[in-house]
Amino acid sequence: MNFQRFFRPQADEKDDDAEYINKINEVLDFADTSYYNKFISWLENEANKPLTIGDHGDMIQSAVRANTLREIRDTLVRRVEHARSAAREIVEDRDG
């Protein structure tokens, strides 16, 4: 059991909530920029380029690059989805 959390005053919990909401807003603000969709498309297009064929080192580097770009894209999309879901829950809790 985390005794610090148990004995922590409620004011700290409000600070934690505010920090959580700020993080959600940061992600949503980034997703709402005109560049976000362009960046996601660029990541996807670059990741889907044909892999380099030939030298083993170049082939490995090409595959690693594609996988890294896919992982970055997937992480951004997942974080935005989670932030949108969390924001909806906050609104529903507040309204509900």
Nearest to 52 by CA among 35, 66, 68, 36: 66
Predicted model pTM? 0.73
Which residue is it, tokens 């059991």? 1
Nearest to 62 by CA among 47, 40, 44: 47
Structural domain spans, the chain: 35-96
Which residue is it, tokens 């974080």? 79
- The average pLDDT across 66-92 equals 94
For residue 13, the model assigns a pLDDT of: 56
Residues 6 or more apart from 27 whose CB is under 8 A from it? Answer: 79, 80, 82, 83
- Over residues 32-58, the pLDDT tens digits come to 999 999 999 999 999 999 998 999 999
